[in-house]
A and B are shown apart, each in its own frame.
Chain A
Amino acid sequence: MQSSVRATILDQIKLVAEQQSRLLMPLNDSLPLLDSGLDSLCIAILVANLEDELGLDPFGTGNNVSIPKTLGEFVALYQNGAA
């Protein structure tokens, strides 16, 4: 489950980047999200798509999460939600 969550996130990042004509940096856990090539609109789309794909909304009201800065933190947020 954990690895499939990661794979889904990475697939969706590539899909959003392609649709929004963004050049992606090589993806690794320490990459700051806002340096990945995705802007905040892209990340907004990503979060919406992930809610559809995974049924997870870790940012939803009631979940008092701190905002992730890196890709690793972002993935972990979803993996914690799926666990």
Chain B
Amino acid sequence: MALRNTRRALIEIALASGSDAGRTISDPAHRVVLADLARSSNMSVPLESMRDRSVLLLTGPQLPTVTALMALDGVASRLLIGLPGLQQADLSQVMADGEVDVVLRDDALASQLHVDAEAPYKRDVDTEWVLFTSGTTGAPKLVSHTLPSLTGPLDDGLRVGPAPVWATFYDVRRYGGLQILLRSLLNGGSMVLSDASESVGDFLGRAGKSGVTHISGTPSHWRRALMSGAASHLSPRYVRLSGEIADQAILDNLKASFPRAEVAHAFASTEAGVGFDVRDGYAGFPASYIGVAGGPVELKVEDGTLRIRSARTALRYLGASRRLADDRGFVDTGDMVERRDDRYYFLGRREGVINVGGQKVYPEEVEAVLNRDPAVRMSRVWARRNPIVGAVVAADVVLREPWVDFDQMRESLLRTCRETLAAHKVPVTLRAVPELDMAASGKLKRRDE
């Protein structure tokens, strides 16, 4: 049963942070005035019918979901923030894990508002917020948060100045993007949403016209933005990177492109929440961040990975027996770090997921395709560092008959890969090697050296 009266609803906090008519949330096609949300709705169903329900929001564009989140926080018992592209086959798992009562899709959620005669509503339900994160196979994992756990990182001392306009390359239905949306709502600002069908140039042009002052994205987003030449449309006060390792080159390039801006990079995950941000302009983070007790976030390094304990971490996975944190409340981020002098640097994901410009590639999936060829005995897929998208896929194969002409076979293997895998999963480098090392566990050694 949902708890009552433990906090104010999102819409109330948002309007209290500034209620002038200039505050908007916009996408390429629509603009919602924040103040109108107090007496309007974008839903074709009565809001009251959602009371104490578990509601899955599943829309193409972001704006209808954002507007529904504002309307439903404090009314629904649970809001599941669905991502577009959820496979039909995974929907039933999501419905079961999330104990979903209602699915609201584009046909029930408009981009525009209509005046709601029933408003204002009593928003006294302590709504659970559920984010999706991709698992190794099949259905997405459902990560349970609360509004306080999601807004906890906003208390980080960042001074935004008057009338901030926020934007993010992220889809705000993902953790990194949601952080930016919440910042815009809770510190008196406006929000410019990205759109999957819009080019980076068009998005930046629109952001520039909207007077964006604060903007975030992954390092890959930013590399693409700088390549587009459209970054000159912007003169932000604050530029934020998260979601991938921010190397020194991208930090320096951003600082050079936006001399007026503070360039910060943040570490966060859907499960662990925001761990910290780094504002000194350097890659990695100061070693002094580790092991400090008593603050809002406690960090430690164990077995080479970063662990986080804080009130910003998620509560649990829905429907899964798997635990999210250890007995003492630390979330293992799975991100490998290494200390060099007075700083820690990120090495990559422990389990070796290859991050091609923000798109995940599981090595095993590509290996399976290669291994299917009768000429291949075994294969190892690895991340080849790449300055444009962070990493591309590379593969080593051990041939059954090492004396055959590999040039011809390479073409045939790559053709198979192109036919069966998404473009970013097809190996860019494919080599024949005499053997592949195995670890004591009998598993393929994945890390080099």
Contacts and interface: CB of A to CB of B under 8 A. Distances in A.
Interface of A: 19-20, 32-34, 40-41, 43-45, 47-49, 52, 57, 59-61, 64-69
Interface string B219-258: 0100110111100000000000000000111001100100
Interface stretch (B112-120, B321-329, B387-395): B387-395
B21 interface: no
A43 B200 CA distance: 15
A41 B30 CA distance: 30
A66 B253 contact: yes
In the complex, the 6 A-B pairs of residues with the closest C-beta atoms, listed nearest first: A59-B387, A44-B388, A44-B389, A67-B226, A69-B229, A48-B428
8 contacts: A19-B418, A34-B200, A40-B227, A40-B357, A48-B429, A66-B226, A67-B227, A69-B229
A41 B423 contact: yes
Contact of A40 (B249, B388, B418): B388
Contacts of A33: 227
Given A41-B423, A67-B227, A49 B388 contact: no
Nearest to A19: B418
Interface string B247-271: 1110011001000000000000000
Nearest to A42: B423
Nearest to B422: A41
A4 B207 CA distance: 41
Given A20-B423, A41-B424, A48-B392, A34 B228 contact: yes
B420 interface: no
B418 A67 contact: no
Contacts of A66: 226, 253, 256
Nearest to A74: B227
Nearest to B232: A69
**B-side interface mostly:** helix
Interface of B: 200-201, 220, 223-224, 226-229, 247-249, 252-253, 256, 356-357, 384, 386-389, 392, 414, 418, 423-424, 428-429
B392 A40 contact: no
B227 A44 contact: no
B243 to A, nearest CB: 15
B387 A47 contact: yes
Contacts of B252: 64
A59 B389 CA distance: 12
A40 B391 CA distance: 12
Contacts of A48: 384, 386, 392, 428-429
A34 B200 CA distance: 10
A60 B256 CA distance: 18
A61 B227 contact: no
Contacts of B384: 48
A30 to B, nearest CB: 12
Contacts of A32: 228-229
A49 to B, nearest CB: 7
A49 B427 CA distance: 12
Contacts of A59: 249, 387-388
A40 B220 contact: yes
A60 to B, nearest CB: 7
B386 A44 contact: yes
A50 to B, nearest CB: 11
Contacts of A49: 428
Nearest to A45: B428
Given A34-B224, A40-B223, A44-B428, 18 more contacts: A19-B414, A19-B418, A20-B423, A40-B389, A41-B424, A44-B388, A44-B389, A44-B392, A48-B386, A48-B428, A49-B428, A59-B387, A60-B387, A61-B247, A64-B248, A65-B249, A67-B223, A67-B227
A30 B320 CA distance: 54
Contacts of B414: 19
Contacts of B229: 32, 34, 69
A44 B357 contact: yes
A69 B200 CA distance: 13
A79 to B, nearest CB: 17
Nearest to B201: A34
A19 B414 CA distance: 10
> Which of B201, B249, B418 has the most A CB atoms < 10 Å from its CB?
B249
